[in-house]
Amino acid sequence: MTNKKVLVTGGAGFIGSWLCKHLNDNDYHTIILDDLSFGKKNNLNILDDYTFIKGSILNDNDLDKIPWNNITQVYHLAALGDVHDSLDNPKKYMAVNANGTHNILEKCREFKIPFLMTSTCMVYGLHAQYEDATTNGISEAHNTLPVSPYGASKLAAEQIAISYHYSYQSTIKIARPFNTYGPHQASNNKEGGVIPIFLEKSINGEDLKIFGDGTQNRDFLYVKDCANFLYQYMNTKDTPLILNAGSGKTISIINLAHKIKSNNQIILQEHPHPQSEIMVLKCNSDLAKSNLNWSPQYTLDQGLLENKQWIKEQQND
């Protein structure tokens, strides 16, 4: 077993499991903390060198199960991530995303462990819709103005992490991936992303339903590219405190539906929380390219094909 041991909170989740796979492929042993509220043990089947601890980032007893003295890096991915749910349950989001992050930061400060957290493009909020952001993409220099408790809770977590960088000289890295999709992402309407939902409904011959008029534009990042970005970011020295990750290309949700559908109908329906909608999210990841020599390797078509094949395999199991 390798001596390179890293902690991945939320490691049984969608992005977390693929990050753990990338770490395994680079000879790291992953210690995974996950309460399985959204993560799945089946997601760990792609791994070959890991230790799993079922527990919550809010529970001190669970955190004490982690061998902090032996950990060389912490990737903090455990979070609640549904915009609509956050509007209905804001207190829960603040507790997990802000307070939970603070708990992990305290351990990293105590044991002097480098800390990387995944934040979200949703922290940009309304500033993502200004003209320069919609044409050239949103850079890290853009102001933040989240419009949902989810975005606000992640921005709060970022600010806590930044304060630890300046107050305690902790090694802090904040990743802002844009709309990430791929295998292991939920395809139900409650937790799922739009791509797996559309793909599964297309495979099953069901209608594709869109909130609003479908003119919302999104920048989609394949999960394996996201995992590689997180790994490169953590393991590159002298990087900016915050880095975006995305393709720099957008597609409207209505055009995405047309790309995915076969004989399915596309149905527009009333948005349950129109106040939280951001019409354009386009990433400017120039800093990631210049600092990490990173750029996405998967086109949208390649990612959709691989994601669709995975969903079909799951249905056949």
Q: What amino acid positions are annotated as catalytic residues?
A: 150
Which residue in 229, 199, 224, 240 sits closest to 295, CA to CA? Answer: 229
Mapped onto helix, strand or coil, the DSSP state of residue 138 is: strand
Distance between CA 136 and CA 261 in Å, rounded?
A: 30
Phi, psi dihedrals of residue 136, rounded to the nearest 5°:
-95, -5
CB of 100 within 8 A of CB of 117?
Answer: no
- Tokens found for residue 267: 């149905």
Maximum separation of any 2 CA atoms in the chain, in Å:
57
Distance between CA 267 and CA 209 in Å, rounded?
A: 5
CB of 119 within 8 A of CB of 158?
Answer: yes
